Amino acid sequence: MRLNTAERDEIVRQRVETQLTRRITAPGLEEILYDRMPVLDYGFVRVIDYMGNDAAIVQAARVSYGRGTKRASEDQGLIKYLMRHRHTTPFEMCEIKYHVKLPIFVARQWIRHRTANVNEYSARYSIIDNEFYIPAPEHLAAQATANRQGRGDVLEGEAAQRVLDLLREDAEHAYASYIELLNEDTSGAPIDPARPGLARELARMNLSLNFYTQLYWKIDLHNLMHFLSLRADPHAQYEIRAYAEVILDILKRWVPMTYAAFLEYRMNAATISATGLTVIRRMLAGETVTQQNSGLSAREWRELTALLARPA
């Protein structure tokens, strides 16, 4: 992840400045506030601001004044209860704002989560940096045959190298054309004063989806956990999962009690249908259950048996 002098100075300035506050704070999050956590080759996530912590969730649930006199173990028990029974409103009382740098195609997935406030870097007003995402060799895979949304076997040898060469050559060519269309260097000065440049809002359209964009993303804790339950899942696309895993670590720093309950009841748990639950009860009663007499579809049966680690 490359940082220019202005970006480094901004981080240093933000991290040196301190503010007196009566607000609830999260010590673990304060340690990394404003700092950049690298993701992929040129991407990052950093926390810009936040509101609330575990105590704020408990306070909202009890509708009490101040921090109360309850013990930490009781607070943990209440947060577990809220998570277990899907009482989501207390979690909505906490919010966090991120600054994220990510490839455009990842941003297009990200924006599908419409329960956040988003402001994206505008290529109508600014010149996009010459930074584009190239997958690491271990993440360069063929299309999966069984899952049209996923990846199959990793490409190797000449096939992998050809893909990497094409990705890099196309991005470099696209950026060179972009600069030619703009007729501007990165400072905004004309390259050829004798000819006009194309408007920035038009010149950007030839850039490929692996170029990086930036956005500010503000979301409440309840919806953040929904985002993570989908994007930190092993089935999620690797690139957005890489960001989700960094954000999951931030969650641990911000609200450690909620993080533990989230892993226990959401990330590492499973949802079973009513029919699936009936199948499990029949199995526990000693009945031989097959897909044919289970009432489940073939896909549902495969998912249930995989969950129970039982041969299909």
DSSP state, 146?
Answer: S
What pLDDT is attached to residue 2? 64
For the chain, list the domains and their CATH numbers.
5-133+210-267 (3.30.1360.170), 274-307 (no CATH)
What pLDDT is attached to residue 67? 55
Q: How far apart are CA 71 and CA 292, in angstroms?
A: 52
Q: How far apart are CA 266 and CA 74, in angstroms?
A: 21
- Record the tokens describing residue 102, joined without a space: 């990510």
The pLDDT tens digits for 193-245 are 888 888 888 989 999 999 999 999 999 999 999 999 999 998 899 999 999 99
- Among this protein's residues, is 151 annotated catalytic? no
Is the pLDDT assigned to residue 139 strictly greater than 90?
A: no
What pLDDT is attached to residue 309? 82
Average pLDDT over residues 127-138: 90
DSSP-derived 3-state class of residue 95: strand
Q: Are 221 and 92 in contact (CB under 8 A)?
A: yes
What pLDDT is attached to residue 147? 61
Is the pLDDT assigned to residue 18 strictly greater than 80?
A: no
What pLDDT is attached to residue 91? 96
Confidence of residue 58 (pLDDT cuts 50, 70, 90): very high
What pLDDT is attached to residue 3? 66
Q: How far apart are CA 170 and CA 133, in angstroms?
A: 12
Average pLDDT over residues 50-73: 79
Is the pLDDT assigned to residue 145 strictly greater than 80?
A: no
Minimum mean pLDDT range among 67-71, 106-110, 211-215, 303-307: 67-71
Mean pLDDT of the chain: 88
Confidence of residue 70 (pLDDT cuts 50, 70, 90): low
Q: Which long-range contacts (CB under 8 A, 24 or more apart) does 83-90 make?
A: 83/258, 83/261, 83/262, 83/264, 83/265, 83/266, 84/261, 84/265, 87/61, 88/222, 89/60, 89/222, 90/57, 90/58, 90/60, 90/61
The pLDDT tens digits for 150-187 are 666 777 788 888 989 999 999 999 999 999 998 887 77
Is the pLDDT assigned to residue 292 strictly greater than 70?
A: yes
Q: How far apart are CA 82 and CA 89, in angstroms?
A: 9
Q: State whether the Cα torsion 248-250-252-257 is positive or negative.
A: negative
What pLDDT is attached to residue 73? 79
Out of 36, 46, 200, 231, the active site residue is 231
